[in-house]
Amino acid sequence: MDKIICNAQFSGLVERFFKCPESIITKCVKQTIKNNPHEKTSVFVVEVDGKQYIVKRYNVTSIKHFLKICLRGTRGWRAWQFANLLKQHRIAAIFPVAFIEKRYGPLRGRAYMVYEYLDYPKGSEYVRSLKEDSENVRLLLANTVRLIQQLKAVRLSHNDFHLGNMLIHQDKPILFDLDHMRRHVNNKFFTKAHNSDIHLFKWYLRDRPQLIKLFMESLPS
Ligand SMILES: Nc1ncnc2c1ncn2[C@@H]1O[C@H](COP(=O)(O)OP(=O)(O)OP(=O)(O)O)[C@@H](O)[C@H]1O
Ligand SMILES: [Mg+2]
């Protein structure tokens, strides 16, 4: 029996459609965002009952990879748990509709995460459309600093923290792609991971030094 966990609000939808996500991908795909079987994840936009959803599939890329995940599960399971933790702490992130994991007796296999499709611009695209001295840029960077401070308060590092993993709504970032997220007990490791999040965010803005400057000015020392 496969493992199916879903957000109570969507239980009917999951029961009717997403129990078998592979057939939904085949029948209802609207757009393939990425699908390379050699990569760890594939991402599709599907339309069900007139509404769009994102299905992120956690692929099993080799026998070696299967041996690695068959007992502990894919990164999808971790992402589901972190999405719940972020919700609990009121940290803006895309909350999934459902998580489905293939089971072969006690062994785990390929998994799927379903999200509502949010029609907001991705941070990387949004920032490209903005002038460096605009109020939107200032707000976006200040809100990103706020987000990173919220993560810090609960000792979370995202580990892929950049504008390409955020959707922007009203100049506020909404985090997604929680596959590499970690919660730290050890101070030293947390500080290192937190600084890496900041470093990666800046690195993605490397061709916009003025934005890095603004970001650093908003960051408490
Ligand atoms: N809920 C959503 N609503 C709208 N678009 C989304 C949503 N979730 C993901 N996307 C789109 O799908 C893309 C891939 O998602 P995600 O980053 O989770 O996958 P990934 O495998 O980590 O991809 P990458 O390696 O490109 O980061 C995102 O960059 C974004 O454009
Ligand atoms: Mg991503």
Nearest 5°: the CA angle 65, 70, 73 is 95
Q: Is residue 98 scored above 90 in pLDDT?
A: yes
Nearest 5°: the CA angle 213, 216, 219 is 155
CA of 35 to the centre of ligand 2 (A): 13
Of 48, 18, 148, nearest to 91 (Cα)? 148
CA of 114 to the centre of ligand 2 (A): 15
Read off the pLDDT of residues 185-218 as tens digits, 9 standing for 90 and up. Answer: 999 999 999 999 999 999 999 999 999 999 999 9
Same fold, 3-116 and 123-218: no
Paired tokens of 91? 């940290």
Q: Is the CB of 59 under 6 A from ligand 1?
A: no
Q: Is residue 221 scored above 90 in pLDDT?
A: no
**Amino acid (1-letter code) at residue 74:** T
The pLDDT value given to residue 1 = 86
Probe target for ligand 1 pocket from 34, 43, 56, 82, with the most ligand atoms within 8 Å of CB: 43
pLDDT, mean of residues 53-78: 95
Contact by Cβ (8 Å): 42, 36: yes
CATH superfamily of 3-116: Phosphorylase Kinase; domain 1 (3.30.200.20)
Which value, in Å, is the radius of gyration of the alpha carbons in the chain?
18
Residue 165 backbone phi and psi in degrees, to 5: -110, 30
Segments in 89-134 forming alpha helices (H):
123-128
| Region 123-218: CATH code | 1.10.510.10
Q: How confident is the model at residue 220 (pLDDT cuts 50, 70, 90)?
A: confident
Read off the pLDDT of residues 123-172 as tens digits, 9 standing for 90 and up. Answer: 999 999 999 999 999 999 999 999 999 999 999 999 999 999 999 999 99
Domains of the chain by residue range: 3-116, 123-218
CA of 105 to the centre of ligand 2 (A): 31
- 31: number of Cβ within 10 Å: 12
Return the bridge partners of 58, or none: 41, 111
CA of 221 to the centre of ligand 1 (A): 31
